[in-house]
Structure 1
């Protein structure tokens, strides 16, 4: 968060199924706003605060949530396509069946988040804080996780193929059953200080 304080508040508003396309909001506090099945192409939220808001089954395309804060919000079955969520913070939020396709989620703060039923593909998440995140069984493919904070993350059974795992210390993560590609396997082995060498000649 940039430290900017909300200048206005929108509380207890029903935006169920509403089309928010093209709207712009800066430094607004949204409290208990129902955005269930809302849509928004090109909508921009900057330095906004969302508390106890419902984004259930909402669909956002080419939208931006810049340096926003989300507390106690539901993103169940929401879909974000080519969105920018740079520098945003998530606390006590639920992400059941969240679908993220592309976009830039760099510098997001999601420590301890339950991401076990999310699908995130082709998304930039540079320097994201996923410390202690619970992502067992998640689909996290083709992600740029360079310089991300991944200590204590649970990735058991997750599909990680194509993602940049250069910031992952396999000694400080749960990885049993995770699916990775050959390049990632070599990278993780190298991180452990092992050397992949050909068999000696007979």
Structure 2
């Protein structure tokens, strides 16, 4: 452990179960390397080239992986607190069921990545590219997704309690049965998003775009819809909206608004 392997070529190497805590792997070549269950606590993987690397069950506490190339890497069930993935490339990577509290993915690219059932509490994703990402059943409690690109993202049944989605792009995203509690969606775009069965409590939708969104069977409590664009949004069997809100929704072009 603590080894210096800067720019070392580990392409296709088998390092499963290796003890590499504190190792310096800056710009190391790790393409298709086997690092399953490896102990990489505190390792520096900045700019490492780890496309298609296998890191299933790896221990990654405090890892520095900013600018790392992890395209198509397999990190299923990996664990680690406070990992830095700033500006990293995780396109098509598999992060299913990872436990990564306090990770920083700001500016990272995760198009088509899978983070199904991942624990991502207290994480940062400012300006991250999450187009078509799978975050179904993920816990994103207290995550900061300011200005993130979540176009066509799958957030079905995700826990979005206390999440900041200010200015985020959620066009055509899937949020069925998601929990949105104390969420900031100010100026976010939910154009044509599917929120069927979602629960919205203390959500700020000020200046947001809900045009053509599916809000069937949603449950509302204390939501701010000020200046929200709602033309074509469908509210069939929505519950919890006040008479005043229903009147305002009807007036602004929402469809199937419950009669209060």
TM bucket (normalised to shorter chain) is 0.7 to 0.9
Deviation at 1:188, TM superposition (A): 4.6
Match of 2:223 in 1: 191
Structure 1, unaligned runs of 5 or more: 1-5
Residue 45 to residue 117, structure 1, CA distance change in 2 (3 Å): same
Aligned mates of 1:47, 1:72 — CA distance in 2: 16
Q: TM-score, normalised by structure 1?
A: 0.85
Match of 1:10 in 2: 25
Structure 2, unaligned runs of 5 or more: 1-20, 200-214, 226-240, 247-257
Residue 7 to residue 14, structure 1, CA distance change in 2 (3 Å): closer
With a CA cutoff of 8 Å and minimum separation of 6, indicate the structure with the bigger relative contact order.
1
Q: Return the index of the structure with the highest Cα Rg.
A: 2
Aligned mates of 1:8, 1:17 — CA distance in 2: 19
Match of 1:121 in 2: 136
SS of residue matched to 2:85: strand
Partners of 1:150 and 1:167 within 8 A in 2: no
Aligned mates of 1:19, 1:7 — CA distance in 2: 18
Deviation at 1:164, TM superposition (A): 1.0
Aligned mates of 1:82, 1:175 — CA distance in 2: 26
Q: Where is the strand percentage greater, Structure 1 or Structure 2?
A: 1
Number of aligned positions between the proteins: 195
Deviation at 1:119, TM superposition (A): 1.6
Matches within 5 A, 1:1-202: 8-169=23-184, 172-184=187-199, 185=215, 186-188=218-220, 190-192=222-224, 194-195=241-242, 199=259
SS of residue matched to 2:180: coil
Aligned mates of 1:103, 1:170 — CA distance in 2: 22
Aligned mates of 1:191, 1:46 — CA distance in 2: 37
Deviation at 1:189, TM superposition (A): 7.1
Q: TM-score, normalised by structure 2?
A: 0.68
Match of 2:211 in 1: none
SS of residue matched to 2:24: strand
Partners of 1:170 and 1:192 within 8 A in 2: no
RMSD: 2.3
Deviation at 1:103, TM superposition (A): 2.1
